[in-house]
């Protein structure tokens, strides 16, 4: 079965590690988060982009994400979900009564976009300063709470993973799938 799986949560909770391992275990493509790849490729400083450049970047990354998900017809594991893009849109105060907001939120929060969504909780593993994400844990908590609210409203079947170690997380996800 071509399952579309997303791993979600704020920065530094272990999404990339779990999503890569899960994709390998299931033999399906891994879809990266997008932002990290962009920042590493360009050397841009996320916090120096300014409001309008950041807004345009989130829109561009959303378009790339949709294309990557559509191309993975045999299923995928995504590092981040559409819900994350909705949370970013709200967190960075891009939401306005305009076509971009209407389109992004309608697409990102659409029911049935994923067959399974796994949420990694905030604060269970130490947040590591890596030069990409903010090392402020309360900024990440703020984003996590926005994300959890969107998930509660738009993805009622999301599964919160309780385990901390990557092997235990992988076992928990795989155990829930059987």
| Contact of 138 with 127, CB cutoff 8 Å | no
Beta bridge partners of 8: 119
What pLDDT is recorded for position 178? 61
What pLDDT is recorded for position 102? 96
Does residue 1 register a pLDDT over 80? no
Burial 44-77 (b: 16+ CB within 10 A, else e): eeeeeeeeeebbebbbebbeebeebbeebeebbb
Parse the chain into domains and list their residue ranges: 4-177
What pLDDT is recorded for position 46? 81
Does residue 147 register a pLDDT over 60? yes
| Contact of 82 with 151, CB cutoff 8 Å | no
| Contact of 119 with 151, CB cutoff 8 Å | yes
> What CATH class has 4-177?
alpha beta
Residue 2 — very low, low, confident or very high, per pLDDT cuts 50/70/90? confident
Does residue 14 register a pLDDT over 60? yes
Q: List pLDDT tens digits, range 81-107.
A: 999 999 999 999 999 999 999 999 999
């Amino acid at each position: 079965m071509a399952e579309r799986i997303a791993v979600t949560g704020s920065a530094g909770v272990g999404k990339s590690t779990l999503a890569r391992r899960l994709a390998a275990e299931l033999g399906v493509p891994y879809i990266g988060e997008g932002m990290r790849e962009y920042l590493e490729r360009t050397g841009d400083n996320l916090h120096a982009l300014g409001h309008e450049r950041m807004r345009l970047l989130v829109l561009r990354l959303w378009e790339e994400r949709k294309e990557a998900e559509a191309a993975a017809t045999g299923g995928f594991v995504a590092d981040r979900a559409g819900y994350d893009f909705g949370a970013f849109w709200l967190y960075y105060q891009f939401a306005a009564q305009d076509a971009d907001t209407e389109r992004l939120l309608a697409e990102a929060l659409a029911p049935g976009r994923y067959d399974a969504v796994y949420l990694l909780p905030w604060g269970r593993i130490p947040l590591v300063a890596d030069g990409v994400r903010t090392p402020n844990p309360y900024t990440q908590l703020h984003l996590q709470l926005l994300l959890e609210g969107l998930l509660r409203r738009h993805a009622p079947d999301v599964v919160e993973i309780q385990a901390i170690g990557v092997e235990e997380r992988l076992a928990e996800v795989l155990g829930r799938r059987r």
